[in-house]
A = this chain, B = another copy of it.
């Protein structure tokens, strides 16, 4: 097999425990032996076995990444790529590696989580987005396993470290932007009703309308997947209405792109006939024709802060639960 701590100990004429201490850079070891041991390591090309270390020290220097939605969907959205970039930067900075589990069905995903959590393959877990009834979240919470949620928990709000935007306000402001543009018939195209983020944004949207004394119409609120096709479906339904909306609040750029495409195909001019405000402000918002007015939610930060909070939570489990709110800002382009 490969070279172990024993070989190093033998060559350096010390005990294995001393070698171990040198690896951990224990200050109680004299500089002399430190050098001796390090030389031996070099000579043998020694590199510590992380697995053995993990077993003995009960820590892995890995973080789990859980996507509680089918990978089919998540992996098609550039939003996720940016989030991943933020997460990976944070992990890299703290010398953690990332372990991903994925799955197509809820069961597959859940089993994957159990495997890495109970299998102790990770020191903590990042949960991307939460549902109203979230099995995985409950599982982690009950086991008291360190985790951070990107999004807002439905239950145990002040018992779960989470990183989120103020989605109520963001949607509220986005809707108001549309109102100031003179729109009164504003539709809401959101993701699944099971997601807390969707519900938050829906509330923000409703509040804006109510404040403006505009009745909220159920027919104007549709829910689809965060895909271009989702946006297409949604807008088709809305345009078929006897009294179609003149503006739409779309909670994802990819969906908005679908909306835009349908409008384009139907010869509906944007923003003249239909105004659109979108969410996430991904690269696509800037690239589309016309460029999308989109809510910047600072996705990169969302990911980065999530890892940072998680690592802090792991190293100081007794610190109080943290809640980080990432700022948002509307980027106005040409669809409004």
User: Chain A interface (Cβ within 8 Å of chain B)?
Assistant: 2, 47-55, 60, 62, 71-72, 75-78, 80-82, 84-85, 88-89, 91-92, 97-104, 108, 112, 114-116, 118-121, 228, 257, 261, 283-284, 287-289
Residues of B within 8 A of A98 (CB): 99-102
In the assembled complex, the Cα of A284 lies from the Cα of B102 at a distance in Å of 24
**Min CB–CB distance A118 → chain B (angstroms):** 4
* A92 and B103 form a contact (CB under 8 A): yes
A97 with B99: CB separation less than 8 A: yes
- The reply to whether A52 and B50 form a contact with Cβ atoms under 8 Å apart is no
Is A75 a contact partner of B85 (Cβ separation < 8 A)? yes
13 contacts between A and B (CB under 8 A): A47-B119, A48-B119, A50-B119, A50-B120, A50-B121, A51-B60, A52-B55, A71-B88, A76-B283, A80-B81, A88-B102, A91-B102, A97-B99
Given the known interface contacts A75-B81, A284-B287, the answer about A99 and B102 at a Cβ–Cβ threshold of 8 Å is no
Q: Check A108/B81 contact, CB under 8 A, given A50-B115, A62-B99, A120-B51.
A: no
> Do A116 and B92 have beta carbons less than 8 Å apart?
no
- Cα distance A2–B144 in the bound complex, in angstroms: 12
Q: Are B81 and A85 in contact (CB under 8 A)?
A: no
| A47–B47 alpha-carbon span in the complex (Å) | 30
Contact partners of A283 in chain B: CB under 8 A: 76, 228
User: Residue on B with the closest CB to A95?
Assistant: B115
Contact across chains for A75 and B84 when beta carbons are under 8 A apart = yes
Across the interface, name the chain B residue whose C-beta is closest to A92: B102
A89 in contact with B76 (CB, 8 Å): no
Task: Give the residue among A50, A104, A283 with the most B Cβ atoms within 10 A.
Answer: A50
Q: Could you tell me if A92 and B108 are in contact, using CB atoms closer than 8 angstroms?
A: yes
